[in-house]
């Protein structure tokens, strides 16, 4: 199950942080690191701070966008110190660990960390199903990137050990769609909302962000997503028939 966990670092600018994050992961049994548009190279400093976990940093997959990094994932959680800027479904670190263990039995699950200076953008946070916030000192709540990776990786490990040794519920939940399918649904929805003139050209993002929040909260299952795609296709067909008969 732990091999299904992806740790995604977005726009990291300090090579040492990649090394420390790799070490934080490997001691907790996590090995899949993805770097989204890194602002530095994996270098000597990375390897030195990674110590025995240099392989994790060395083998990290590098991609250009967060969308690419999460397209095969059934669960995406964004880690953010600023929990209140966007109202989004939230998880405590402990719940986050459990969720990863439950859903990681069925498919790839990802935890996303932001840039050292500016964290994750709102757009990136809106690509996540949940946000997790480490309840730190409210007057100084921003952890060093690798420390945040350590804290969440530890929670995943604790949940994993619990699941291994106890009667932790074996997952019987419905299948969730991969992120790529969810993104295709949003694109389809946006297209239909334009063509039916529900949204206007001047404020497209506002409405789509609200829909993203709604569907993130609902946590669409595969079958529900298929049904909604069917509804959109039916609307498209009926509006094109109307056009023909006019």
Nearest approach, Cβ of 82 to ligand SAH (angstroms)? 5
Figure out which of the listed residues 2, 71, 82, 219 binds ligand SAH, where binding follows CB under 6 A.
Answer: 82
Question: Which segment (64-72, 110-118, 121-129, 205-213) binds ligand SAH by CB under 6 A?
Answer: 110-118
Segment near ligand SAH (CB under 6 A); pick from 73-81, 96-104, 202-210, 225-233: 73-81
Q: What b/e sequence results for 106-126 when a residue is b if at least 16 CB atoms lie within 10 Å of its CB, and e otherwise?
A: bebbbbbbbbbeebbeeebbb
Cα end-to-end span (Å), the chain: 56
Contact between 113 and ligand SAH (CB under 6 A)? yes
Q: What is the spatial order of strands in the sheet that 73-79 belongs to?
A: 61-63, 32-36, 5-10, 108-113, 73-79, 130-132, 90-91
Rounded CA-CA distance 48/54 in Å is 8
Q: Which is nearer to ligand SAH, 123 or 174 (CB)?
A: 123
Which window, 28-36, 113-121, 193-201, 212-220, contacts ligand SAH (CB under 6 A)? 113-121
Site track for ligand SAH across 143-162, x = CB under 6 A: x-x--x--------------
- Near ligand SAH by CB under 6 A: residue from 133, 156, 159, 220: 133
When binding is defined by CB under 6 A, the residue of 116, 190, 221, 236 that contacts ligand SAH is 116
Q: What's the closest the beta carbon of residue 9 comes to ligand SAH, in angstroms?
A: 9
Stretch that binds ligand SAH, among 26-34, 80-88, 187-195, 204-212 (CB under 6 A): 80-88
Binding of residue 119 to ligand SAH (CB under 6 A): yes
Handedness of CA 45, 51, 54, 60 (dihedral sign): negative
Question: Looking at 60-68, 135-143, 195-203, 222-230, which segment touches ligand SAH (CB under 6 A)?
Answer: 135-143
Task: Provide φ and ψ at 229, rounded to 5°.
Answer: -60, -40
Q: How many residues bind ligand SAH (CB under 6 A)?
A: 19
Residue 68 tokens, joined: 């690419």
Shorter beta-carbon distance to ligand SAH: residue 117 or 201: 117
Closest CB 142 distance from ligand SAH, rounded Å: 4
Q: Could you list the residues that contact ligand SAH (CB under 6 A)?
A: 79-82, 113-114, 116-120, 133-134, 136, 141-143, 145, 148
């Amino acid at each position: 199950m732990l091999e299904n966990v992806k740790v995604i670092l977005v726009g990291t600018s300090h090579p040492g942080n990649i090394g420390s994050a790799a070490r934080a992961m490997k001691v907790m049994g996590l090995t899949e690191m993805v770097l989204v548009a890194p602002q530095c190279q994996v270098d000597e400093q990375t390897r030195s701070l990674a110590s025995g976990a240099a392989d994790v940093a060395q083998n990290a997959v590098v991609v250009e966008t967060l969308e690419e990094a999460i397209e095969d994932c059934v669960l995406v959680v964004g880690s953010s110190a600023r929990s209140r800027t966007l109202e989004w479904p939230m998880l405590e670190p402990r719940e986050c660990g459990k969720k990863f263990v439950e859903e990681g039995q069925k498919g790839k699950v990802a935890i996303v960390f932001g840039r050292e200076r500016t964290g994750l953008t709102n757009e990136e946070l809106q690509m996540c199903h949940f946000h997790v916030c480490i309840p730190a000192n409210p007057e100084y709540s921003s952890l060093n990137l690798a420390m945040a990776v350590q804290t969440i990786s530890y929670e995943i490990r604790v949940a994993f050990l619990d699941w291994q040794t106890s009667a932790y519920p074996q997952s019987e939940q419905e299948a969730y769609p991969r992120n790529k399918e969810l993104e295709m649904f949003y694109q389809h929805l946006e297209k239909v909302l334009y063509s039916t003139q529900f949204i206007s050209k001047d404020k497209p993002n506002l409405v789509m962000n609200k829909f993203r929040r709604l569907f993130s909260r609902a946590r669409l299952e595969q079958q529900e997503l298929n049904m909604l795609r069917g509804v959109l296709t039916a609307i498209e067909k009926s509006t094109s028939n109307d056009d023909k008969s006019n």
